[in-house]
Structure 1
Amino acid sequence: MDINKTLREWLLVRRDSKTVFTPQANDVHLEAAMQWLKRAQDATADSGVAQTYLTKYKKWANSYPETTGYIIPTFYRYYQLTGDEDYRRRAIAMADWECDIQLPDGGVLAGALGDSELPTVFNTGQVLFGWVTAYEQEKQQRYLDSAIKAADWLCSIMDADGCWRKFGSPMTLNDGTNLYNTRSAWGLARVYQITGNEKYLQHAVKNAQWGLSQCEPNGFGHNNCLQDASQPFLHTIAYAMRGFLEIGVIAKRQDFIAQAIKMGDAMLGQVQGNGFIAGRFNAKWQPTVKWSCLTGNAQISINWCRLAQITADMRYVDAAAAVIQFTKSTQILSGTDDNIRGGIKGSHPINGGYHPWQYPNWATKFFADALMILDTLKTGKGPYRDWPV
């Protein structure tokens, strides 16, 4: 055991846990986040976005197909908000790159580029958001073709009961039986929206119906974590919740929306006075850790904002604003280190149990989305006012 290394890490964590910054206006934090995402894209050898910045090794990981896919709508959204053509250009480059690396069967590679040669359900579902949005914005046939090919593959490998058990993520200890794949099913529903092909919506609904079978009366969902299903991350709770909510809206299924409301309401009571919310919860919706999953913070805030749009209940906006205010206080806005300035950590403090010592790109992506939807609700205008993705 390297005692000196352990001591250095302890001191870093202690400093990190005590270091918070005075939050600035949302647009200041948003611009910093978007600039960090551009640097994460520029850090790679291709047009994808680096999976994460590893602070211990002071290096960027390779491009990550999964999250690059759903970063595409964020870049289009920011382009519409600011008129900065560079974000549209970058979104197109990402969408083209996703087409170029799509596997022959239609699936999308697991992990970061170079980690695997196999497809996985979740990654494929998330890239659908990028292709669908790129097609909506650019009307290029190749994006539609890739989206249909990926959606057909997802439909073909779904089990009869609506669960995906094959081609699970190598990042999870589960066998592929993951509730948070409702977010992949929502990707199918988005393909339905641009094609009108009922098959895609039917399969999305089938997965959400299976998802309901995994949920307790209090809204807690089983098989819903990367590592420990008894205490899922806020991150995967929010993934599953968003899938239920959006499929419910598209398919006009109140039972799916009701499940999302149960999950969202369970989290409302967990927000502390300073906006802190724990990173894991048990089946009684009790927090099980003392660190914050910053990715989950942003996601649950987006989900609450969507519930406010659907229900007109402003409690959700208040909770989202409080949690984002806390998250803003953890974002470094100044300094000379381009690798972390403007980014969002996996956990706060940085050694917490979700992607410790890292700045995963999806944490910053969801943070940017949360800031934009909050401002949209406040002003009544903005990109994607009805917030489909």
Structure 2
Amino acid sequence: MSIRETLRQKSLVLKDTLGIGLTTPADNRLHLDAAIAWLKHAQDVTGNGGVAQTFLVRSRRWAPSYPETTGYIIPTLYRYATLAGDQDARARARRMANWEIDIQLPGGGVLAGALGDSDQPTVFNTGQVIFGWVRAFEEERDDAYRDAAVRASTWLCDIMDDDGCWRQFGSPMTGKAINTYNTRTAWSLARTHEITGERRFLDAAVRNGEWALTQARANGWLETNCLQDNAQPFTHTIAYAMRGLLEIGDYAGREDFIAAARQIGDAMVAALPADGFLPGRFDASWRPTVKWSCLTGDCQLGINWGRLFQITGDTGYRDATSRILGFVKRTQRLAGGERDTLGGIKGAHPINGSYHPWQYPNWATKFYADALMMDIANRQGGHYGLKGPAVKG
């Protein structure tokens, strides 16, 4: 590494650490438009319809298209298209959904990792792409999208154990077979049930939620719930597991699932400081274990709190969404510098924090856009996701 590059990287860390050059938070819509522009750019650089997995800051290059997160970016673009009247966003969502069909494995599953990383299907990625196909079917009424979702959902049901846990086809990227955050995968089965009425899919979703509750401690903290270290999960996977329980509970009328999700949400609200800077990992006593923030998890929790506001009417949750977004907005660059980072969201703040360090993963910006749209609707008295597909995925 050249001396100039070493100095550049040290400067980025120092600026983040000291809060130098951060953005003054502005109107939600301004930040949202910049985030969507970044997602469109991340699709354009691949040339195949998928969205690049991440921008690598150190090497200044893009990773290949990522099936998993391209799948759940599809609902984000449809949501934005409705909000902004953006037909380009709608066309891009269709292109993503078609690309996902083109690469779906014969058995119905979705590949692990980015293109070229693996030739094997994995549970979590398959669930996340289902969100895209279901939403594309709802928007386009094209049976090809529903058929793809059904094939994927059938595969997930076929490989689920009788107790509702998935123990096969864990991600080869993490080396972990059992993941409580697969409640978000189970939620995708409930979404397929919405467009098919096939009871098997909803029953499987509920069964996984029931299994997940066996992993909960009295204080709501969940076992086996991290990509790396189950003793101190990322806020990213904490939020994944919480969202799955919340949405299955809301759809299936399972108050115990909603209560479990609310217990997690309350613990995270209690940990949220006034400036919105939430540490990126928490132990089993809901104590932070790191000094950096996982921006992806921040945005996901903002969405989850927004949903709890919609379900319970408790304005404290709505306010928590706005507070954490106030912090994340400061980390989003809206002008100047490299085109490849303009409008995007880093994996961690500071940039060398241990969640996708030195990267702009596409899902960080996806969840940021969703959280902004959630906050817009909740602040304007809208019905974001209360009925219909607006919040789904």
The TM-score bracket by the shorter chain reads over 0.9
C-alpha contact 2:303 2:370 (8 A) present in aligned 1 = yes
Which SS does the other structure have where 2:200 is aligned?
A: helix
- Match of 2:360, SS? strand
Structure 1, unaligned runs of 5 or more: none
The residue number in structure 1 matching 2:196 is 195
SS of the residue corresponding to residue 76 of structure 1 reads helix
- Whether 2:116 is the aligned partner of 1:114: answer yes
What stretches of structure 1 move > 6 A for 4+ residues in a row? 1-5
What TM-score does the superposition give when structure 2 sets the normalisation length? 0.96
Summarize deviations over 1:6-30 as a string: whole Å, max 9, x none. Answer: 6653333112222321111100000
Question: Residue 352 of structure 2 corresponds to which residue in structure 1?
Answer: 351
137, 146, 149: which is aligned to 2:139? 137
- Residue 52 of structure 2: which of 50, 53, 78 is its match? 50
Q: Report whether the alignment pairs 1:388 with 2:392.
A: yes
Give the equivalent residue in structure 1 for 2:14.
14
What is the rounded CA distance, in whole Å, between the counterparts of 1:289 and 1:269 in structure 2?
17
Aligned partner (choices 56, 60, 69) of residue 67 of structure 1: 69
Percent identical among aligned pairs is: 59
How far apart in 2 are the matches of 1:205 and 1:185? 8
Report SS of the residue matched to 1:329.
helix
Letter in 2 for 1:342: G
TM-score, normalised relative to structure 1: 0.97
1:38 paired residue among 40, 45, 49: 40
Tell me how far 1:272 sits from its aligned partner.
1.0
Aligned residue number for residue 289 of structure 1: 290
Q: What does the per-residue CA deviation read over 1:324-375, in whole Å, with 9 as the maximum and x for residues that have no partner?
A: 0000000000014110000000000000010000000000000000000111
**1: CA distance between counterparts of 2:40 and 2:7?**
34
Deviation at 1:171, TM superposition (A): 2.5
Separation in 2, partners of 1:268, 1:305 = 12
| CA deviation profile, 1:86-123 (whole Å, cap 9, x unmatched) | 01100000000000100000000000011100000000
Distance 2:2 2:362 in 1: 30
**Residues 35, 385 of structure 1: alpha-carbon distance in 2 compared, 3 angstrom cutoff:** farther
The residue that corresponds to 1:257 in the other structure is 258
Mapping of residues 151-162 of structure 1, within 5 Å: 151-162=153-164
Q: Does 1:184 align with 2:185?
A: yes
Structure 1 vs Structure 2 CA RMSD: 1.4
Structure 1 residue 270, shift from structure 2 partner = 0.9
- Separation in 1, partners of 2:352, 2:96: 31
How many residues align? The count is 388
SS at the partner of 1:53? strand
Q: Please tell me the residue identity of whatever aligns with 1:200.
A: F
Query: Which residue of 1 is the match for residue 324 of structure 2?
Result: 323
Distance 1:216 1:336 in 2: 46
Amino acid at match of 2:11: L
**Aligned 8 A contact 1:77 1:383 in 2:** no
Show the counterpart of 1:302: 303
Q: Which amino acid aligns with 2:220?
A: G
Query: Are 2:9 and 2:58, in contact at CA under 8 Å, matched by a contact in 1?
Result: no
Structure 2: segments with no counterpart, 5+ residues: none
1:194-273 → structure 2 map (5 Å cutoff): 194-273=195-274
Q: Is the 8 A contact 2:124 2:171 kept in 1?
A: yes
1:160 to partner: Cα distance? 1.2
- Whether the 8 Å contact between 1:77 and 1:384 is mirrored in structure 2 is no
Q: Displacement, 1:384?
A: 4.3
Q: Write the distance in 1 (CA, Å) between the matches of 2:318 and 2:372.
A: 12
Letter in 2 for 1:63: S
1:205 corresponds to which letter in structure 2? V
Can you list the C-alpha shifts for 1:126-152, whole angstroms capped at 9, x where unaligned?
000000000001010110110000000
Q: Can you list the C-alpha shifts for 1:225-265, whole angstroms capped at 9, x where unaligned?
A: 00100000000000000000000011100110010000000
Find the aligned partners of 1:122 and 1:233 in 2 and give their Cα distance: 16
Contact 1:108 1:119 in 2 (8 A): yes
1:152 to 1:264, Cα distance in 2 relative to 1, 3 A? same
Task: Please give the alpha-carbon distance, in whole angstroms, between the structure 2 residues aligned to 1:373 and 1:10.
Answer: 35
- Aligned counterpart for 1:23 among listed residues 2, 25, 32: 25
Q: Shift in Å at residue 381 of structure 1?
A: 2.6
CA contact (8 A) 1:44 1:63 kept: yes
Q: Which residue of 1 aligns with 2:281?
A: 280
Give the Cα separation in 2 of the matches to 1:81 and 1:260.
28
